[in-house]
Structure 1
């Protein structure tokens, strides 16, 4: 009799334990959805049958990230300051496939170009390298083979917010740019005070810089520009690290530095306004989002 009672209690205990485990574990049949706690930014778990979130961060969603820096975080860039200038030759800064000068050469860079630095790497021999990354859509992505590594001696590091658009502008700007296609000059004003005047290169006859009054709606320290551009130009070009960009039309007209020529004062471009890189940098740092750009003859 005692043996039967003992067996009954033992079996009942085992069944009770299993019931507790399966009814309170993630193996239950309830369906879960993820939501975000607006105050903490953490992921919360909620059953479809309940509107009350479980006040614990979900541990099994590591692939989802919430990233809303406020204020915007500065990014690291490198401006190429050594090597070749307008003409690609043996003195150009070489881009390597690894942190070794014995690895494959990916590209050759010219003075004035600017690149986003993904990370700084110390090679086994103690040399410092910059890993360059392109976080933008490319018209011809097959032309780019990553990774890119350049030696730290190739340029100067600086910090910038990166791509900044019109949503970041909160106050009207008194600054304005006037580009005269007739005399190939740019005039920068703050109110009625002249900040700078400099020769430029606007668009060629078949790819003219548009006339009119526009607004700078985006600025970014670097852009990878490629051609041909369907409906605009059938010319091939591949220009990584175009520096100091001020966008003033949605069709892609930009005021920017041009490291690949030195013909400022006459037409040259596919519709953009070209400046010497050092001059473009000064204007970029001075310019405001929302400022007026007037293009005239």
Structure 2
């Protein structure tokens, strides 16, 4: 939808009026619904790599460079003939145009806190642009954690506590270790229901499903016998030589061996060392080389599908990764009996990478 000049100016005035708030808080106060933006918002996923241009083309004049986690109202989307062809989407923002490559489209959606949490944990999804995690101890009280949890990332809720604002906060526990615990406002996470992640085509024989991935085309195709049932653009491994861990997606024949609806990838701490990363809550992971951590999974740190972008995994849009998570075997059954059910392992769907 393209806005009229009058509507655009109105929205611009609202944006200017709220800049002070956005500079100091990643979300408006949920008690005042008038402050909740209704338009889609661009969250800048990288630092000083995404430019706002005067015109929607890469060789246009750069108005300014953006900062990671900066939030910009998106007024409309356009696809100019200059492309690029693999990802032609640009966004009109307040002071120009920004390409979608390093932009995560997000919304503010607040949730009613749960009253209790199962002992096995409750799977949930972040529904605000990002939420700042906190840690708590008797000695030091409430302190900011070094993690921010981003829109559509998934996490395991393990308790409800009274937060530093005297409201309900969720205790989140990493699937990687019970010792990694942090807290966020309960209104920022949406509990995921069993129906939402129920297996797709569960009655098909195991060998009736297969996935083919073309590294040349950067495209994934899912088959039931010989019928195409799903397709999606991907971003495979970049194959960087200066990174100590191999980052080229390996060609070959594999099978899904492990699935986790929420996975902490990389280091458990954000050290900032070259070649390292720490990504809590990577959604809808389906591993086909578990030993070296190569998987199909959702992505919130770029939106540049169609060219290699990863450390070796197959990056997918979150919705695409979720569909595949439900479709591939071994089947993930939810709700679960205990925390051993936070992942499932077995000899599953064939994955062919060419």
> Is the shorter-chain TM-score for this pair beyond 0.5, marking a shared fold?
yes
Class of the TM-score when normalised by the shorter of the 2 chains: 0.5 to 0.7
| Aligned residues of 2:135 and 2:182 also touching (Cα < 8 A) | yes
Alignment CA distance shift 1:211-1:240 (3 Å): same
User: Which runs of 5 or more residues in structure 2 are unaligned?
Assistant: 1-118, 195-203, 241-246, 331-347
> In structure 2, which of residues 199, 205, 208 is the aligned counterpart of residue 174 of structure 1?
208
CA distance in 1, matches of 2:312, 2:180: 29
Matching residue within 121, 128, 133 for 1:95? 133
The answer to whether the 8 Å contact 1:98/1:147 transfers is: no
Consecutive unaligned residues in structure 1, runs of 5 or more: 1-72, 84-91, 139-144, 161-169
Distance 1:264 1:293 in 2: 19
Distance 2:185 2:213 in 1: 37
C-alpha spacing 1:286/1:172, structure 2 compared with 1 (3 Å)? closer
Deviation, 1:252, is: 1.6
Q: Could you say if the C-alpha distance between residues 156 and 118 of structure 1 is closer, same or farther in structure 2, counting changes exceeding 3 Å?
A: same
How does 1:207-286 map onto structure 2 within 5 Å?
Answer: 207-226=247-266, 235-249=275-289, 250-286=291-327
SS of the residue corresponding to residue 281 of structure 1 reads: helix
Q: Check whether the contact 2:175–2:262 (CA below 8 A) recurs between aligned residues.
A: no
CA distance in 2, matches of 1:259, 1:291: 25
Number of residue pairs matched?
196
Give the whole-Å Cα distance in 1 for the aligned partners of 2:306 and 2:163.
Answer: 44
After superposition, the C-alpha distances for 1:67-93 in whole angstroms (9 at most, x for unaligned) are xxxxxx96411111211xxxxxxxx21
For the 8 Å contact 1:175–1:190, the answer to whether it is kept is: yes
Which residue among 164, 183, 186 is the counterpart of 1:149? 183
Is 1:198–2:232 an aligned residue pair?
yes
Displacement of 1:176 after TM fit? 1.3
Structure 2 Cα separation of the partners of residues 271 and 174 of structure 1 = 27
Residue 295 to residue 220, structure 1, CA distance change in 2 (3 Å): same
Whether the 8 Å contact between 2:218 and 2:236 is mirrored in structure 1 is yes
Deviation at residue 279 of structure 1 after TM alignment? 1.6
Distance 1:96 1:74, change over 3 A: closer
Query: Structure 1's 265 and 227: CA in aligned 2 closer, same or farther, altered over 3 A?
Result: farther
- SS of the residue 1:118 aligns to: strand
- Kindly provide the CA deviation profile for residues 185-236 of structure 1, in whole angstroms up to 9, marking residues without a partner as x: 11112222222111100011332111011000110111111159xxxx9512
Assess, with a 3 A threshold, how the Cα gap between structure 1 residues 121 and 103 changes in structure 2: closer, same or farther. closer
TM-score (norm 1): 0.59
8 Å Cα contact 2:239/2:249 also seen in 1:
no
C-alpha change, 1:187 and 1:108, in structure 2 (3 Å) is same
Partners in 1 of 2:224 and 2:171 — Cα distance? 38
Q: CA RMSD in A?
A: 3.0
CA distance in 1, matches of 2:120, 2:142: 31
Structure with the greater alpha carbon radius of gyration: 1
TM-superposition CA deviations, 1:36-73 (whole Å, max 9, x none): xxxxxxxxxxxxxxxxxxxxxxxxxxxxxxxxxxxxx9
| Cα shift at 1:135 | 3.5
CA contact (8 A) 1:97 1:146 kept: no
Structure 2 counterpart of 1:78: 124
Number of the residue aligned with 2:352: 294
Question: Which of residues 158, 162, 183 in structure 2 aligns to 1:118?
Answer: 158
Partner of 2:108: none
TM-score for both structures, normalised by structure 2: 0.50
